[in-house]
Copies of this chain bind each other. A is one copy, B any other.
């Protein structure tokens, strides 16, 4: 499998965690997003969205990190990334989507550049990202407030943790608060796992 990604892309980071949890190996192709390499003709032919990550599997290109994680879970079911019970599966997916739909896309590079093009200065752009992230993480902290740990949903790592941890990395880049006790506890538990440690941006070959 070939993972098209970028060290600091939090969506790429999610896929690296999932691949690591499954014990998979892969080749990396990396794109410097700030230089626009993900918009090159060559990469747009791979993923017409011009976004990373994309995962090539036997010549088929899969896009969108959560779809890729679900694919990995279906083909490599051990360890599972979702609980068995349908209501709990939906709850875990709902949490993951609260991050992946309602926080991350609204603070990613493309949107921040659109804001700058509308005349917002760098401070205002950073404040936008902080507001989106803090509001979102606060809601997420409530979604898991009454759940047992150590992970978001009990003693099994799920898609929820895979999506949450990279978002915390983004939060710190923008100086957003992350001091939600339940979330901090999840992060500590995840970071103790080799798959999470190996997936960190600063451990990637293209890290600057």
- Bin the interface of chain A by size: 35 or more
Contact status of A94 and B131, CB under 8 A, knowing A48-B139, A49-B143: no
B118 touches A124 (CB 8 A): yes
- Chain B residues near A67 (CB-CB < 8 A): 90-91, 93-94, 96-97
Report which of B74, B118, B142 forms a contact with A128, defined as CB distance below 8 A: B118
**Which of the 9-residue segments A55-63, A182-190, A193-201 touches chain B?**
A55-63
Complex copy number for this chain: 2
Q: CB-CB < 8 A to A64: which residues of B?
A: 93-94, 97-98, 101
Dominant SS among interface residues on chain A: helix
Q: Which residues in B have their C-beta under 8 angstroms from that of A128?
A: 114, 118
Interface flag for A42 (CB, 8 Å):
no
Query: Is residue A28 within 8 Å, beta carbon to beta carbon, of the partner chain?
Result: no
Listed in ascending order, the chain A residues whose CB lies under 8 Å from chain B are 48-51, 57, 60, 62-64, 66-68, 70-71, 74-75, 86-87, 89-91, 93-94, 96-98, 100-102, 104-106, 111, 114-115, 118, 120, 124, 128, 131-132, 139, 142-143
